[in-house]
Chains A and B, each alone.
Chain A
Amino acid sequence: MQRRTPPAVLAAVLITAGLTACSSADKQLQDAQKKIDGLKATTHAIAEAWRNGDVSATYAGTAFQQTLQLLDKERASLNAAPKLLLDPRGASLSRDAEQLSRALAALIDDARNHDAASAQQHLTQVPAGDSP
Chain B
Amino acid sequence: MSAIVDVILGIVTSIGGFIEVGSISTSAQAGAEYGFQLLWAIALATLMLAVMIEMSGRLAAVSRRSIDAAVRERFGISFQWVPLAAELGIDTLLFTAEIGGAAIAIKLVTGIGFLWWILPIGIVVWLVLAMAGFSIIEYGFGLLGLVTLCFVYAAWRLQPSTHDLARSLVPSLPAHDPVRYAFMCVSIVGATISPYLLNFYASGSLEEKLAEKELWVNRTTAYLGMCFGGIVSMGVLVTSAMVLGPRHITVDSYDQAALMLVPVFHRWAIGLFAASLGIGCLGAAVEIALNAGYAFSQAFGWPWGANKPRTDATRFSAAFTLVTIAGVIIGLIGFDPLRLTMISLALTVVIMPIVVLPFLALMNDSRYVKSHTSGPVGNAFLAALTVLGALLAIVVVPLEIFGG
Please list the residues of chain A having a beta carbon within 8 angstroms of any beta carbon in chain B.
34-35, 37-38, 41-42, 44-46, 49, 52-56, 58-59, 61-63, 66-67, 70, 129, 131
Contacts and interface: CB of A to CB of B under 8 A. Distances in A.
Contacts of A35: 250, 252
A126 to B, nearest CB: 13
A54 B248 contact: no
Contacts of A131: 248
Interface string B104-115: 000111110000
Nearest to B265: A54
B266 A62 contact: no
B213 interface: no
Contacts of A59: 108-109, 111, 255, 258, 270
A62 B255 CA distance: 8
B163 interface: no
Given A46-B259, A70-B253, A129 B248 contact: yes
Nearest to B266: A54
15 contacts: A34-B250, A35-B250, A41-B249, A46-B259, A49-B259, A54-B262, A54-B267, A58-B109, A63-B259, A66-B255, A66-B256, A67-B255, A67-B256, A129-B248, A131-B248
Contacts of B267: 53-55
Contacts of B107: 62
The 9 closest A-B pairs by CB, nearest first: A58-B111, A63-B255, A38-B250, A66-B255, A54-B266, A41-B247, A62-B111, A66-B253, A41-B249
A55 B248 contact: no
Interface residues of B, number: 20
A129 B246 CA distance: 12
A70 B259 CA distance: 16
B124 to A, nearest CB: 22
Is chain B's interface secondary structure helix, strand, loop, or mixed overall? Answer: helix
B86 interface: no
A131 B176 CA distance: 13
A49 B362 CA distance: 53
A58 B332 CA distance: 23
A74 to B, nearest CB: 9
A49 B262 contact: yes
B269 interface: yes
Contacts of A62: 107-108, 111, 255
Contacts of A54: 262, 266-267, 269
Contacts of B270: 55-56, 59
Contacts of B253: 66-67, 70
Given A49-B259, A59-B255, 10 more contacts: A38-B252, A49-B262, A53-B267, A54-B267, A55-B269, A59-B111, A63-B256, A63-B259, A66-B255, A66-B256
Contacts of B250: 34-35, 38
Nearest to A49: B262
A42 B259 contact: yes
A64 to B, nearest CB: 9
Contact of B111 (A42, A44, A49, A61): A61
Contacts of A66: 253, 255-256
A35 B253 CA distance: 12
A120 B110 CA distance: 23
